[in-house]
Amino acid sequence: MLLSSNGIAVTSFAAPEVWSALVQVFIIALAVLAGNVLRRKVKILRRSLIPSALLGGLIILLLKMWADFNGIIDKKFMETVTYHALAIGFIAMSLRPSKETDRANTRTVIDTGTLTIATYMIQAIFGLLITIPMFLWWRNPAAGNDIFYSGGLLLPMGYGQGPGQALNFGTIYQLGAADQGINFHGIDFGLSIAAIGFLVGSVVGVVYMNILNRKKKLTIHEHISESKHTLKDYEQENELPHSESVDKLTIVVSIVLLTYFLVWLLMSGINSLDLGNFGEKTLKPLVYGFNFFWGILFGSLVKIVIRGLRKKGWMTREYLNEFLLNRVSGISFDVMIVAGTAAISFENLKDIWLPLTLVCIFGAVATFLYVRWVSFRIYPDYKYEGFFSMFGMLTGTASNGMILLREIDPRYQTPAANNLVLQNIPAMIMGFPVLLLLGFAPKSLNATLITLGVLATLFLVATLFLFRKRKK
Eight-class DSSP state of 144:
S
pLDDT of residue 101: 44
> What residues does each domain of the chain span?
17-220+244-466
- Give Cβ neighbours of residue 32 (< 8 Å, ≥ 6 apart): 52, 53, 56, 334, 335, 338
pLDDT of residue 225: 46
Distance in angstroms (rounded) separating the CA atoms of residues 216 and 195: 32
Taking phi over 0 as left and psi of -120 to 50 as alpha, with beta for the rest, 227 belongs to beta
pLDDT of residue 231: 52
Tens of pLDDT, residues 411-462: 767 888 778 767 877 887 888 788 888 888 998 999 999 999 999 999 999 9
- Give Cβ neighbours of residue 313 (< 8 Å, ≥ 6 apart): none
pLDDT of residue 279: 62
Distance in angstroms (rounded) separating the CA atoms of residues 444 and 125: 17
Burial of 420: CB neighbours in 10 Å, binned 0-12, 13-18, 19+ = buried
pLDDT along the chain (472 residues), means of 10: 57 74 90 90 79 85 74 84 86 75 69 93 96 86 80 92 84 89 90 88 86 80 51 56 66 92 91 71 70 85 87 76 84 86 79 89 95 93 91 82 79 77 79 83 92 95 87 56
pLDDT of residue 237: 59
Predicted TM-score of the model (pTM)? 0.78
pLDDT of residue 118: 95
Q: Where are the beta strands (DSSP E) in 100-256?
A: none
Tens of pLDDT, residues 183-212: 898 999 998 998 888 888 888 888 898 888
- Give Cβ neighbours of residue 291 (< 8 Å, ≥ 6 apart): 83, 84, 86, 87, 168, 263, 267
Amino acid letter at 101? Answer: T
- SS3 of 181-215: CCCCCHHHHHHHHHHHHHHHHHHHHHHHHHHHHHC
Residue 94: CB atoms within 10 A of its CB come to: 24
pLDDT of residue 437: 87
